[in-house]
Amino acid sequence: MNSPRSRANMVHVYNCHPYASQQIVQVEQEPGLVCCGGGALFVVASGGCKVEAYSVEQEGCPLICRFSTMGTVRSIQHSKTGDYLVTIEEKNSATYLRAYTNWRYQAEGKARVGVRLLGHLLRGASVRGGVQMEIIEIPLSEHPVAVACCSVTGDLLVGCEKTLVLFTLRRPNQQSLSQSPWPNTQQSSSQSQGQTSSSNQNVSILDFERSVIVHLPKMSLKQVALCGGYVAVQAELEVLVLKLEASSDPQTPDDSSDTNTCDDPLEDQSDLLLIPRQQELLGDRAKDCDIPVSIEKTGLEDKGQYTLSYVLFRRFTPEFFQGCSVEETQLHSLQLYPLYTSSQSASTEEPACVFCFFSLPNAGYLYSLKGGVELLSAYQYPEKVLEAVLTDHLLHVITKNALQCFTVRCAAVAARMEDPYIDTTMKACPPCSLEVCALRMQLFIGLRSVCVYGRHVILLSAADMETPDESERSTQRRELKEHTTLTGIFLAVGIDPATTPALESFLSRPFLSRKWTISSPKETSAAGHGWNLYVVDTVSPLVLYREMVEYSRHYSETNPQAQSLRHLLSEAHLLLCASSLQQSSEGNHTVSLQKDADKQTEGQTEGQTEGQTERQEVQEALRQNCAQLGDCYSRASQKDCHQALPYYRMSGLSVTEVLVRNRPLPSSPHSYGLGFLFYLKHFLFEETEQSLSQESADEVIDIFSQSDPSEIISVCASPSMTNISPARTLRIFQHLEATAGVSVPLTITMATMMLRLDDLPQYTQLMDRHPEMLLVYGFIDEPRLLLHGGGGGPHTRVRPTSLTRQLSKSQPGLLVAGMVALHENNKAQLEQADHIFKELGCENCLLVDFWEATLMASSQEAVIQELLFRLASVYIERLTHTNSGAHSSLPRTRPQRRPLKSADDLINSSSHYGSLYPWLTVLCPAHTTNFQHQEALHKLQSLLCGPSMSIGSVLPLLERLSEETLWGFSLHLLCATRRGQFDSSIEKLLDRCPQAIIAFANHHLQDRHMALWWQKLLPELCDRTRAAADNSILLAALKETLVVVATETSPAQFLELIPDDGTASYFLPHLLRCSQRHLLA
């Protein structure tokens, strides 16, 4: 992107009070530099070499300690992790970089201070003598310009004019940073002072290791920032953000590059002024900027290599605006800010979100870096801003005479990082692109700098002191300006003061400026100086939220649909979200510390109780805010009305409560908002256990009869509407039928109302209006006419409706057809249909009918195999029960009525049921058992004769059936035949029922099994006939077999088959016919 995106964010202004109180820090000397961190405010006297630390968490900001520096401090920063200070100092025209560790021990009045070089730990008596502050000298080859500390890791980034040097925080004694005496940098100074100086085991020994050097030859660095691997550098009008990552791969010598030899084509053109164009390059496109970056190897301590990737580049052009010249247009307030989600601990994990903020005198820019680089907000300032500080709740900026704060969008990004599916019908959050707003400003005089710690905003002010001569000249200038102004007014109305001596005398008096000349002198502190150091406390997010809600009532009373009302409530929502995220991450950090602690003090317990109470209050406020946002969106336009649904859900309100909040205004008694109707539809169309009272249900029917009559059938079918008044609803349906015409779903719904009124004749009359097929289509259009609870997947609990119960008694065929249609149209799962029939008490009859009907209709192989197995199990259970007459251990499966489909019906209409083999009729003739047994036997035999049944799956079930009965024997023989076991089947059939052998052979011994006629069947018959010569059945079977053998074999083959036991004469006629057939062929 060659030009920055133009996001003309409108800034809303709300008269809310973000600041609660202020106090003045009693500093003896004029402050030159200030910074804060670890619950302390660090003040460097102007031009001095002394640092004073004050507690900002205690009333009056008492002094914690003071210590001297080794030079004049030009820059000072505090590191949250490690609780150390780093300074840039000057002495004797030389610049030094120093780190001050264990500075809190100076509060004990100890004068002991250790000074050492980077990497050289103090030994011997210096450590054994007790705890002490250490000053670590950090040598650099260039003059340091800026420093930054990483709040996540404690690493130190030093910016020189063309170079960045990263120092990694180390703990030489191998102790974790979380085990240091001050793991929580918000610990008060009183707690730190309680540490005994003799406990050497808890001494915080810190050191730094130079990790990487980054060269930026084309940038003149002014500010740097570091956070979680992100590195930001700022020049006068350029900002570059890089991602620095360590790799375990060893670095080769070729990986480092010398950027000092980079040739600049414009290097010698010092007399040429070039104004660069504006640029905004995000993500991978940032590498296309003209800022080369290279990494230099630091030495033998590197075990791997670092890789750099471009994240963001932004360049501005010098511009003029009111109150700021082109020369003064420079970037300032560079900041990288981390934010943790509710599941993270701020001390142990990488932040889920990292934001980059920087500012011009007239505009500020906030970017999100993780999960895609994006410009969140562009802040347009009303006047020249000197400095700005970003927090998770607000953005604080100072001008020369005011402190002002703006809202931020960090919480919106963090919420979506924590839950990527937050923008759904279940959850919602105001968008990251929501326009920012400015809150009420606080006036000061001569503000110079600002820094923030928690809810404390520290301000340094220094008023310009005028000399008497300067004051007199200023008064004269004001008097001259007033004389000119009044003269112009008189001339405008046609009066020349020069012609009227009285007016000329009047204008010569300093009348209008009298208030200036007699005003009291400027207030100063008790010491009479012109500077002050303030600690301004911001109100808690909960208090600010309540004020925003109170402020919003002005809009809700005048115009409930105003955009400003929705915007203000969205701001309040993000404020509470940020507070909730902060509390959760602090709570997780506290829990992690408690796990390592041996015991807990009473004060800590009380603090945790207060924290839990505050968290509960924030969650309750969030629910209230969601309800208010739901009210806003309930009457919004079609573009935004869908947001009412997730906000109402997050509010925890019941449907009845939402109904009350959305009743029409007296000015529009029949008007309901689109968002409210959208919410109501989703609630009624989704399966829920919440039932409305009769009053609420009737109100819902009235709402839809007025607003959306086309949905009234679906609304009435909702399980939440079970308490509806049937007579009243029936009248509404009759009116709808008269105006819109007859429809099948409407007829079924009216019949349901008649059923609830116990008017069976009218119910029957309505159901007879349409043929059953059309009624089935009506069930497909509205499945909830038959079942409730089927919208949540296969394992969702379902229950039958009153109509379903009636159909099971009066029209079971229609019920089965309807359930099959719902299953085939993916409106109901197989398990859900099973549950419905079991609830009806029809698991032994209608459920089996449903399985049989679904088997005929389904085309899904998995469903077919499942149904085949279920049906085989039922048929076998019925055979066992009806045969033995005893109760089985399984549920009683005797059908209570005749099935809807007989075995012949299934054979004729379904391909899965095969025609019965002829030999089965011989083996098990009809009418040998009762009807129910016969039907179950024929259906099971038909399944085994069909092409779909897997024999392997049914074999374990058949083990329960004995082969002693012919029908049991037939089933086992069917399975053996299907498995190709013809030899054993022939033997078993000859043993049990030889009269069926020819029918068996004619059906199965064909084609490739034809040879079994003479290879197996003929020898078996010969042997058995020889043993029982008077067995007419065997003799008849032998004759039939010889006829087939004589037809299918040659004379030579037939001759070999004749036994040599002296009975050849019996076979000669068949041999003759075989020879004659052979000759004719």
| The pLDDT of residue 123 | 61
- List phi, psi (to 5°) of 311: -120, -45
| The pLDDT of residue 267 | 45
Inter-CA distances, 934 with 13, 216, 966, 967, 989, Å: 86, 93, 13, 10, 21
CB count, 10 Å around CB of 1012? Answer: 17
Q: How confident is the model at residue 902 (pLDDT cuts 50, 70, 90)?
A: very high
The C-alpha atoms of residue 490 and residue 492 are separated, in whole angstroms, by 5
Q: How confident is the model at residue 612 (pLDDT cuts 50, 70, 90)?
A: confident
| The pLDDT of residue 310 | 95
Identify the three-state secondary structure at position 919. Answer: helix
Q: Where are the beta strands (DSSP E) in 102-222?
A: 113-117, 133-138, 144-149, 156-160, 163-170, 207-215
8-state DSSP, 324: B
Residues 329-384 have pLDDT tens digits of 899 999 999 998 877 665 556 888 999 999 999 999 999 999 889 999 999 998 89
Inter-CA distances, 309 with 151, 247, 287, 353, Å: 21, 13, 8, 18
Q: Which of 824, 832, 819 is nearest to 859 (CA)?
A: 824
The C-alpha atoms of residue 1022 and residue 1013 are separated, in whole angstroms, by 12
Name residue 146's beta-bridge partners: 159
| 231 pLDDT above the threshold of 60 | yes
Residues 109-160 have pLDDT tens digits of 666 788 889 887 766 544 544 578 889 999 998 999 999 999 999 999 999 9
The answer to whether residues 1000 and 985 touch, using CB atoms and an 8 Å cutoff, is yes
Residues 423-477 have pLDDT tens digits of 888 999 999 989 999 998 899 999 999 999 999 999 999 876 544 454 555 555 5
| 942 pLDDT above the threshold of 90 | yes
| 251 pLDDT above the threshold of 90 | no
Burial code of 449-464, b = ≥16 C-beta within 10 A, e = fewer? bbbbbebbbbbbbbbe
Inter-CA distances, 715 with 305, 567, 655, 738, Å: 65, 33, 14, 19
Residues 464-499 have pLDDT tens digits of 654 445 455 555 555 555 566 566 555 554 566 666
| 76 pLDDT above the threshold of 60 | yes
Q: Which of 38, 31, 1005 is nearest to 532 (CA)?
A: 31
Q: How confident is the model at residue 24 (pLDDT cuts 50, 70, 90)?
A: very high
- H or E segment to which residue 34 belongs: strand 31-37
Q: How confident is the model at residue 891 (pLDDT cuts 50, 70, 90)?
A: very low
For residues 88-105, average pLDDT? 90
Q: Quick one: tokens of 436? A: 């920012």
| The pLDDT of residue 252 | 45
For residues 75-91, average pLDDT? 93
| The pLDDT of residue 530 | 78
| The pLDDT of residue 197 | 36
For residues 224-238, average pLDDT? 94
Mean pLDDT of the chain: 82
| The pLDDT of residue 303 | 54
Q: Which of 924, 937, 925, 930 is nearest to 872 (CA)?
A: 937
8-state DSSP, 592: H
CB-based burial label for 892 (10 Å; 0-12, 13-18, 19+):
exposed
Residue type, 142: E
Give residue for tokens 């840039």: 88
| The pLDDT of residue 478 | 55
| The pLDDT of residue 36 | 94
Q: What is the DSSP string of 429-484?
A: ---TTPPPEE---EE-SSEEEEEEETTEEEEEEEPPPPPHHHHHHHHHHHHHHHHH
For residues 658-668, average pLDDT? 82
Name residue 191's beta-bridge partners: none
Q: Measured over all CA atoms, what is the biggest interatomic distance in the chain, rounded to whole angstroms? A: 171
The answer to whether residues 532 and 461 touch, using CB atoms and an 8 Å cutoff, is yes
The answer to whether residues 12 and 437 touch, using CB atoms and an 8 Å cutoff, is yes
Identify the three-state secondary structure at position 378. Answer: strand
| The pLDDT of residue 191 | 36
Identify the three-state secondary structure at position 209. Answer: strand
For residues 813-832, average pLDDT? 93
Q: Which of 139, 44, 148 is nearest to 86 (CA)?
A: 148
Percent of the chain past pLDDT 90, that is, above it, reads 47
Residues 186-202 have pLDDT tens digits of 333 333 333 333 334 34
| The pLDDT of residue 585 | 64
Alpha helix segments (H runs only) across 708-811 = 712-716, 726-740, 744-756, 760-767, 772-781, 802-810
| Residues 6 or more apart whose Cβ sits within 8 Å of residue 879 | 933, 936, 937, 940, 961, 967, 968
* Parallel/antiparallel/unpaired status of strands 12-13 and 437-438: parallel
Q: What is the DSSP string of 810-878?
A: H-HHHHHHHHHHHHHTTSS-HHHHHHHHHHTT-TTTHHHHHHHHHHHH---HHHHHHHHHHHHHHHHHH
The C-alpha atoms of residue 587 and residue 590 are separated, in whole angstroms, by 5
Q: Quick one: tokens of 820? A: 């099959």
The answer to whether residues 921 and 885 touch, using CB atoms and an 8 Å cutoff, is no
The C-alpha atoms of residue 805 and residue 786 are separated, in whole angstroms, by 9
The C-alpha atoms of residue 608 and residue 623 are separated, in whole angstroms, by 23
Q: Quick one: tokens of 801? A: 């409706």
For residues 209-219, average pLDDT? 92
Inter-CA distances, 389 with 307, 459, 585, 894, 993, Å: 30, 11, 21, 80, 100
The C-alpha atoms of residue 451 and residue 56 are separated, in whole angstroms, by 12
Inter-CA distances, 78 with 147, 155, 156, 396, 796, Å: 10, 11, 10, 19, 57
Identify the three-state secondary structure at position 720. Answer: helix
- H or E segment to which residue 412 belongs: helix 410-418
Which tops the pLDDT comparison, 164 or 118? 164
Give residue for tokens 């000859």: 990
Percent of the chain past pLDDT 70, that is, above it, reads 78
CB count, 10 Å around CB of 253? Answer: 6
Q: At what angle do helices 541-558 and 602-634 cross, to 10 degrees?
A: 20
Q: How confident is the model at residue 323 (pLDDT cuts 50, 70, 90)?
A: low
* Parallel/antiparallel/unpaired status of strands 113-117 and 133-138: parallel
For residues 948-962, average pLDDT? 88
Report the residue count for the chain. 1081
The C-alpha atoms of residue 606 and residue 608 are separated, in whole angstroms, by 5
Q: Quick one: tokens of 902? A: 């007989």
Q: Where are the beta strands (DSSP E) in 248-324?
A: 279-282, 294-296, 305-315
The C-alpha atoms of residue 639 and residue 859 are separated, in whole angstroms, by 42
| 507 pLDDT above the threshold of 80 | no
Dihedral of alpha carbons 377, 383, 384, 387, sign: negative
Which tops the pLDDT comparison, 3 or 230? 230
Q: Quick one: tokens of 491? A: 């001339």
Q: Quick one: tokens of 848? A: 């089996």
Per mean pLDDT, which range of 154-158, 553-557, 1069-1073 is the poorest?
Answer: 553-557
Alpha helix segments (H runs only) across 897-1050 = 903-909, 918-923, 931-945, 951-958, 966-978, 982-992, 997-1004, 1012, 1018-1027, 1032-1048
Inter-CA distances, 33 with 24, 75, 170, Å: 16, 7, 28
